[in-house]
Amino acid sequence: MSRLDEIRNTIKTEVARLKESHRMEQDVFYQAVEEVLLSVAPLYLSDPKYARHNVVRRLAVPDRIIKFKVAWLDDKNEIQVNTGYRVQFNNTLGPYKGGLRFHPTVNEGVLKFLGFEQIFKNALTGLPIGGGKGGSDFDPKGRSDMEVMKFCSAFMTELHKYIGPDIDVPAGDIGVGAREIGYLYGEYKKITSRYNGVLTGKPFFFGGSLGRPEATGYGVVYFTQQMLDEMDKEPLEGKVCTVSGAGNVALHAIEKLLQLGAVPVTCTDSRGTLYDPRGLDIELLKELKLVKRASLEEYVKAHAEAKYIPVSEYPEGGHAVWQIPAYAAFPCATQNELTEVDAKALIKNGVVSVTEGANMPSTPEAIETFLKAGIAFGPAKAANAGGVAVSEFEMSQNAQLQRWSFDEVDRKLKATMIHICKTVVGTAKEYGVEGNLVDGANIAGFKRVADAMIAEGI
Ligand code: NDP
Ligand code: 2IT
């Protein structure tokens, strides 16, 4: 083969790889779409108007996808280039609302799945917010504060054109916390000279809401308390719980579980699982993950009774965290992190409830396994809606130039989670799928958006 043919072959292989990865990118989006559409079949059966108005087609295509280049200078003065996105999915119920994710796995398909889920989650809160999501393939891990700041500034240089308090209001997600939101907001103000509620999850001293950092994790636990009550199961007090993730959602779920007298014994990061059978030391975890940004392995140095299981020792097709016996499980890391293998292990070990803190953490096979076994299963779009609900409270406070106390926010958050749980349980019953909160959440969220879309015309 000539050198020229060799080069052509390499190019062909690369194009095929790109094509395949583009196709696969969308898999996670269609996984989310299929789940919602299968759930809403009873609604379609009950009222032909949804088919007549072609609601599915109109909901499954985002209003627009904004994709842009983010060029920035790293600490070595070398030029780095990332891709930025904002998927403005649906604004029928209010301004586009949803987080920004900074993670190397971010691509259009991931953000479409997250934006699609966000429409129904936001609808379930009963608050006036539409659905959107954005982010970048930028990896904040190992980057200095200055590099994160420079990236955020470059990202906002483009994003500011498309957002606004009554247009689209981004917030945090994986890799985006108060630090990143602070830098993004600083740049937005510099460019626009506006001081408004364009982002939520802001640090408290420039307009953030008390209770927003805690909201998703606390909300997940409030939802679980209500779900167990509705399903006549024993409450969480004194019960062993397993949690995955070690970020914003996981740490605050662990904190609330400890406050209630439950015993959370695990958390995970991308490198491994930490298991402390006596119950986790939340102060140490916060110090390690939120301040030092260190590995969970460090925890064992202070608590010799704890065990660290690296990813290399995970079971085939599963994850160490879900092999540990628990009364209640809380997947709070990322999508598809709880597989059928994991679901079977949890059930074998007597799990009673599973609540999704992350977005779509359970695979479709795992969900089916839980539902068949009669496990109380709290789906993400209902159970983790506390974060976006308090984001909306932040928008309200900003619009009125007011500040609510932590207790007021927490009270409203709890009321919202109870309302969502009752709605989802009630909807499942009304549509003949009692106890199936996946269908209950999808039908209730879908119906609210679909009815409003129909009322708006084409
Ligand atoms: P953080 O960035 O604060 O934490 C994410 C955690 O998950 C980290 O411990 C991270 O480990 C781990 N993780 C991320 N990706 C992977 C992976 N591919 N494999 C294993 N572990 C991984 O994010 P959040 O806590 O904010 O978000 C967690 C989940 O909750 C996401 O699904 C998010 O969409 C969802 N969510 C977040 C809300 C919020 O308000 N923040 C609201 C509702 C849902 P490591 O540190 O090693 O990367
Ligand atoms: O997935 C989510 O709900 C979030 N990342 C929070 C979105 C928000 O706007 O607060």
Q: How far is the CA of 42 from the centre of ligand 1 (A)?
A: 33
Positions of E strands within 183-338: 240-243, 263-264, 266-269, 272-275, 307-310, 328-330
The amino acid sitting at 119 is: I
Which atom of ligand 2 approaches the CA of 391 most closely?
A: 10
Helix H or strand E encompassing 258:
helix 248-260
88, 124, 216, 395, best to mutate for ligand 2 pocket (most atoms within 8 Å of CB): 216
> Is the distance from the beta carbon of residue 135 to the nearest atom of ligand 1 less than 6 Å?
no
Interatomic CA distance for residues 282 and 222, integer angstroms: 19
pLDDT in tens, 303-323: 999 999 999 999 999 999 999
Length in residues, the chain:
458
Interatomic CA distance for residues 439 and 35, integer angstroms: 9
Ligand nearest the Cα atom of residue 384? 1
Which atom of ligand 2 approaches the CA of 121 most closely?
A: 3
Indicate which residue of 97, 133, 202, 447 is catalytic.
133
Interatomic CA distance for residues 58 and 64, integer angstroms: 12
Q: How far is the CA of 394 from the centre of ligand 1 (A)?
A: 22
Interatomic CA distance for residues 458 and 449, integer angstroms: 14
Phi/psi at 98 (5° precision): 165, 165
Please tell me the predicted confidence (pLDDT) of residue 155: 98
Ligand nearest the Cα atom of residue 142? 1
* Token reading at 284: 């140490």
Look at ligand 1, atom 41, and give the residue with the nearest C-alpha. 173
Please tell me the predicted confidence (pLDDT) of residue 301: 96
Buried b (16+ CB within 10 A) or exposed e, 339-376: bbbbbbbbbeeebbbbbbbbbbbbbeebbebbbeeebb
Nearest of 157, 159, 176 to residue 114 by alpha carbon: 176
266, 270, 360, best to mutate for ligand 1 pocket (most atoms within 8 Å of CB): 270
> Is the distance from the beta carbon of residue 272 to the nearest atom of ligand 1 less than 6 Å?
no
Ligand nearest the Cα atom of residue 105? 1
In the chain, which residues have pLDDT < 70? Answer: none
Q: Residues with Cβ within 6 A of ligand 2?
A: 97-99, 118, 121, 171, 173, 200, 359, 387-388, 391
Q: How far is the CA of 326 from the centre of ligand 2 (A)?
A: 28
Positions of E strands within 231-389: 240-243, 263-264, 266-269, 272-275, 307-310, 328-330, 353-355, 376-378
Please tell me the predicted confidence (pLDDT) of residue 253: 98
Within 8 A by CB and 6+ apart from 336, the residues are 28, 360, 361, 362, 363
pTM (2 decimals)? Answer: 0.95
Ligand nearest the Cα atom of residue 269? 1
Please tell me the predicted confidence (pLDDT) of residue 22: 78
Q: Is residue 138 within 8 Å of 82, Cβ to Cβ? A: yes
**In the annotation, is 189 catalytic?**
no
- Give the count of alpha carbons within 13 A of 188, CB side only: 23
Which atom of ligand 1 approaches the CA of 380 most closely?
A: 44
Ligand nearest the Cα atom of residue 120? 2
Which atom of ligand 1 approaches the CA of 176 most closely?
A: 2
121, 122, 173, best to mutate for ligand 1 pocket (most atoms within 8 Å of CB): 173
Please tell me the predicted confidence (pLDDT) of residue 14: 82
> Is the distance from the beta carbon of residue 359 to the nearest atom of ligand 1 less than 6 Å?
yes
Please tell me the predicted confidence (pLDDT) of residue 271: 95
Within 8 A by CB and 6+ apart from 47, the residues are none
Q: How far is the CA of 54 from the centre of ligand 1 (A)?
A: 35
| 130, β-bridge pairs | none
Helix (H, G, I), strand (E, B) or coil at 176: strand
> Is the distance from the beta carbon of residue 249 to the nearest atom of ligand 1 less than 6 Å?
yes
125, 143, 200, 269, best to mutate for ligand 1 pocket (most atoms within 8 Å of CB): 269
Only one residue has tokens 């926010």, namely 409
Which domains can be identified in the chain, with CATH numbers?
Answer: 62-197 (3.40.50.10860), 212-458 (3.40.50.720)
Look at ligand 1, atom 15, and give the residue with the nearest C-alpha. 334
Phi/psi at 76 (5° precision): -95, 10
Please tell me the predicted confidence (pLDDT) of residue 41: 92
Interatomic CA distance for residues 59 and 62, integer angstroms: 7
User: For residue 184, what are the CA distances in angstroms to 83, 132, 316?
Assistant: 16, 17, 41
> Is the distance from the beta carbon of residue 358 to the nearest atom of ligand 1 less than 6 Å?
yes
> Is the distance from the beta carbon of residue 384 to the nearest atom of ligand 1 less than 6 Å?
yes
